[in-house]
Amino acid sequence: LHYHPGNASFAVHALLRELALPFELQLVDRARAEHKSPAYLKLNPNGQIPVLVDGEVVLYETVAIMLHLLESHPNAGLAPPVGSAQRPHFLKWMVWMTNTLQPALMQYFYPERLVAEGNAAGAAEVKARAIAKVGECLAQLDEQMQRSGGPWLLGASYSAADILAFLLCRWTRGFALAPAREYPHIGPYLQRVLGRPAVQQTIAAEGLAAPLV
Ligand SMILES: N[C@@H](CCC(=O)N[C@@H](CS)C(=O)NCC(=O)O)C(=O)O
């Protein structure tokens, strides 16, 4: 797994540990822009982290990698089985996280990519709108936590969706207003995910420091 501490790769890393699979970590040195190097761009032409090399299969896109691992280990109990009532909702939340919540977070972290070079006022506007969009998303997530009856996103069973939700919520920990931990249902939920041994092992292996969420 080509990873960088706390990046999207965390979700794959924690899933590999939850599945108790053997794997090797390969640090991508962002300070040296290794993810933009010709060698890395051969693995992922988008220059983004993570990449999983699984035998002959070289995969990028966090959710695709997670679904690939889950499909390879259908009896691990980390996703509702195909044909179950929860399965379509599992797919919906995985895609929603990668396609709606994550892009809003990316706009928050990289607003300058959406405006002309040097347009600081434009970037600030993008960032403000991204915060508002993330807030809408977190409200939806909070409502789902309540509706599911907990303790997990989909209800009684922990799944890979919880790992991804935890990571994306964690990225809001520096928000001045309403980080995920302050939402009434998400806050205690993040503590429950933090209690998972695989999550703790991932945090330790990546050397993540407090505040964790
Ligand atoms: N859609 C990709 C996005 C991955 C992504 O945004 N990775 C970030 C780190 S969390 C990254 O590589 N950022 C560097 C960049 O975009 O230049 C995925 O879900 O895997």
- pLDDT (tens digit, 9 = 90+) per residue, 81-125? 999 999 999 999 999 999 999 999 999 999 999 999 999 999 999
Measured from CB, residues less than 6 Å from any atom of ligand 1 are 7-8, 35, 47-49, 60-62, 98, 106
- Cβ–Cβ under 8 Å, residues 103 and 111: no
Taking the CA of residue 50 as reference, the ligand 1 atom at the shortest distance is 20
Alpha helix stretches (DSSP H) within the chain? 9-18, 38-43, 62-72, 87-96, 102-109, 120-148, 160-170, 186-194, 197-206
- Cβ–Cβ under 8 Å, residues 37 and 27: no
Taking the CA of residue 7 as reference, the ligand 1 atom at the shortest distance is 10
- pLDDT (tens digit, 9 = 90+) per residue, 1-20? 999 999 999 999 999 999 99
Q: Whose CA is nearest to atom 2 of ligand 1?
A: 61
Distance CA 62, CA 179 (A): 23
Which candidate, 118, 137, 127, places its Cα nearest to that of 180? 137
Say if pTM beats, i.e. exceeds, 0.85.
yes
Which candidate, 190, 192, 196, 197, places its Cα nearest to that of 211? 190
Mean pLDDT for the stretch of residues 180-192 = 98
Taking the CA of residue 48 as reference, the ligand 1 atom at the shortest distance is 12
pLDDT of residue 148: 97
Which of 48, 94, 96, 98 to probe ligand 1 with, by most ligand atoms within 8 A of CB?
48
- pLDDT (tens digit, 9 = 90+) per residue, 149-170? 999 999 999 999 999 999 999 9
Distance CA 94, CA 110 (A): 22
Distance CA 198, CA 17 (A): 5
Tokens 């405006």: give the residue: 115
- Cβ–Cβ under 8 Å, residues 12 and 65: yes
